[in-house]
Every structure is written in C-alpha cells, then in structure tokens.
Amino acid sequence: MNQMTEDPAVQKEIVRQGYDMLSYAYRSDDVGDDYWDGLYAEWASILSESLSKGSSVLDIGCGCGLPMTKLLSSEFDVTGVDFSSVQIQRARELVPSARFICSDIFDAELESGHFAAVVSFYTIIHMPLNEQPSLFKRIADWLQPGGYLLAIVGHTAWTGTNESYLGIDGGEMCWSHADERTYLQWITDSGLHVHWKRFIPDGESGHTLVFAQKAPIG
C-alpha cells in the first residue's frame, strides 16, 4: 500500500481507470461468490421490506450491475450510475431491465425528490474525502420525503493506494474514507435520520453498512 495523492482529480482518474482495467477481475459475468452474493441479497431484502414494488431506486457506483443492480431491478425501477465506461457497458448488457448513466456522480443530472431509495456499496470509500459530505447532501435532495439511504461507508479512517489491486499488475486503485462516527455525523448533517448501522467484516478489517431515512412530509 502506498500514500494516496491529495489531488481529487487524480484520485478519481485512478479509480476510473482502475475499474476499466479490473472490471472482469472484480466481478465476472456469471461466477459469483456465495458469501458476498448472499450478503447483497440480504441487503436487497431490506429495501424489499421497505419500498413498494416499482419504486425508483438510484444505485451509485453500480459497477457491472452484478449482483445488486440486478437484484433490485427485479422489483424496482433502477437507475445505475458509474463513471467506468467498461463497467457501464457490461451493466447495460447484463441488466437490461435497468437504465444506466456513465458519469461521475457529482456531474450527474438527477431530479430532486425523485428516488424512493439510494444505495451505494463500496463506492463512497473510493471518492475524494473532501467531496463526500456534499454527496450525502445531494443524496438527501434526490430522495423523496420518507426515502431511504442504504450504503457501505468506512469503519475506520484510512487512505491509500494499491498498485496491483486484486493481484493485477498495473491495476492501481485508491481508497479514501473517514471513520464510522464521522460518516454518521455527515449523514445526519445532510438531514437524514440513521435508523441503524452494522459492521460488515472484510478480511482483517471491515466497513459499516448504514440505513437512514429522509423525514416524511407531515
């Protein structure tokens, strides 16, 4: 692991190019992992129990669409956003029932108050740290009154890069995340109420899964 650049534009380009290169190594078209796919199915069920069928859901950092976008699109009207052109091309082929936007989420033009839920799994932790608080405010704006956020965020603060992520030479990747307490504060400051949080183990460390909600009208 190496020290990460402090230039947000450079960091984003590392992540974008990294997932362009590592897309198939990160997730193949047809071979899943029972443990992780089981977790994603469990997380998808949280929304199934909270939303009406056909509700609009935004998936930030949808990747190739597997497994979460595909799981959600079986019940909901899903829009996936990712800035890796390779990931989005694959997603359009693998999950034709959803719509996809190839864009930096900060550049995406999304309608205020449109989505019943916003999900993001292992994506926010790749974003420049100084941009993350504003992302939660944008998420709150995109949500309908009473809408939900279900997201993976950092558990402990850490930044760094890996020049051979997933064992691929030249497959550089970087991460930038705050600690759990900071994320909970950012989410609360955006106007969302945190219903619960859960630690999700990952190797010798882990992340935090957060379920939050925008206040309903009245």
Q: How does pLDDT run across 192-215, given as a tens digit for each residue?
A: 999 999 999 998 899 999 999 999
Of residues 72 and 34, more confidently modeled:
72
pLDDT at 63: 97
Q: Does residue 44 sit within a domain?
A: yes
pLDDT, one tens digit per residue, over 51-63 is 999 999 999 999 9
pLDDT at 163: 92
For residue 52, give the CATH number of its domain.
3.40.50.150
Q: Does residue 196 sit within a domain?
A: yes
Q: Does residue 204 sit within a domain?
A: yes
pLDDT, one tens digit per residue, over 119-142 is 999 999 999 999 999 999 999 999
Average pLDDT over residues 102-113: 97
Q: Does residue 123 sit within a domain?
A: yes
What is the value of pTM for the model shown? 0.95
- Rounded to the nearest angstrom, the gap between the alpha carbon of residue 15 and the centroid of all alpha carbons in its chain is 13
Average pLDDT over residues 20-24: 94
Q: Does residue 1 sit within a domain?
A: no
pLDDT at 31: 61
pLDDT at 204: 86
Tell me the three-class secondary structure of the chain, residue by residue. Answer: CECCCCCHHHHHHHHHHHHHHHHHHHCCCCCCCHHHHHHHHHHHHHHHCCCCCCCEEEEECCCCCCCHHHHHHCCCEEEEEECCHHHHHHHHHHCCCCEEEECCCCCCCCCCCCEEEEEECCCHHHCCHHHHHHHHHHHHHHEEEEEEEEEEEECCCEEEEECCHHHCCCCCEEEEECCHHHHHHHHHHCCEEEEEEEEEEECCEEEEEEEEEECCCC
Average pLDDT over residues 73-94: 98
pLDDT at 35 over 80: no
Tokens 């890796």 belong to 84
Q: What's the total number of domains in the chain?
A: 1
User: In the numeric block, which tokens belong to residue 216?
Assistant: 């309903």
Average pLDDT over residues 90-104: 98
Q: Does residue 171 sit within a domain?
A: yes
Q: For residue 102, what are the domain limits? A: 8-214
pLDDT at 3 over 60: no
Q: Does residue 61 sit within a domain?
A: yes
Q: Does residue 2 sit within a domain?
A: no
pLDDT, one tens digit per residue, over 147-193 is 999 999 999 999 999 999 999 998 999 999 999 999 999 999 999 99
Q: What is the mean pLDDT of the chain?
A: 94
